[in-house]
Amino acid sequence: MFEILKSFETKYGYLKKKGLTIEGLSMVDVKKKKHVIKVTRPLVFDNRLIPKRFEGLDVKTSIKINTSMPTEFTVDRTKPDWHKVHYMWAPERFIKYVERCENEIKAQLENPGLTKAELLDALCFGNFEEHKQRSLQLIKEGKLPAYSAN
């Protein structure tokens, strides 16, 4: 399994210059002994460059949360149960961020030709519409809170 991780690092290591951190292997299901390759990335990153699977392992991507998050993604994480009130990665937050900072995001991604739809895909886990539909479904099931502006 470590050979797979090494191969992943060889193939996608260039993304470290763009802010990707390859954290290593992680077990996500002890009973099934399911491992993933765990990576973190900054919010402004073309997530489409990271594969969903690599040599039989899922690639688990998370966004690095820091104190300088854009206003659209700022939630008070110090309050207990904050996640029951605010879904940090709500599709509406991505839309508002892209609408407000489109040119800055294009500059950070070094790709001025991206459309708004491509920017949303790049920032939002690779496929914005898929994320939006999955979020709506989870809201209907009561597993995520509906979007509300802070």
Instruction: Kindly tell me if the per-residue pLDDT of 127 is higher than 60.
Output: yes
The answer to whether position 150 is within a domain reads no
Are 32 and 81 found together in one domain?
no
Are 46 and 106 found together in one domain?
no
Are 84 and 53 found together in one domain?
no
The model's confidence at residue 83, banded by pLDDT at 50, 70 and 90, is low
pLDDT at res. 68 = 82
Mean pLDDT within 121-137: 94
Instruction: Kindly tell me if the per-residue pLDDT of 62 is higher than 80.
Output: yes
Are 75 and 35 found together in one domain?
no
Instruction: Kindly tell me if the per-residue pLDDT of 150 is higher than 70.
Output: no
Domain count along the chain: 2
Are 27 and 46 found together in one domain?
yes
- Judged by average pLDDT, the poorest of 15-19, 30-34, 117-121, 128-132 is 30-34
Expressed as residue numbers, the domain containing 34 is 2-63
Mean pLDDT taken over the chain: 91
Are 58 and 84 found together in one domain?
no
The answer to whether position 93 is within a domain reads yes
98: helix, coil or strand?
Answer: helix
The answer to whether position 145 is within a domain reads no
Do strands 34-41 and 53-54 pair parallel, antiparallel, or not at all (unpaired)?
unpaired
> pTM of the predicted model, to two decimals?
0.87
d(CA 142, CA 32): 27
Are 55 and 110 found together in one domain?
no
Report the candidate in 64, 62, 43, 63 with the shortest Cα–Cα distance to residue 108: 43
Instruction: Kindly tell me if the per-residue pLDDT of 124 is higher than 80.
Output: yes
d(CA 79, CA 98): 27
The model's confidence at residue 42, banded by pLDDT at 50, 70 and 90, is very high
> Rounded to whole angstroms, what are the CA distances from 3 to 75, 86, 105, 115?
39, 39, 35, 37
d(CA 51, CA 135): 21
Are 94 and 132 found together in one domain?
yes
Are 48 and 78 found together in one domain?
no
The answer to whether position 148 is within a domain reads no
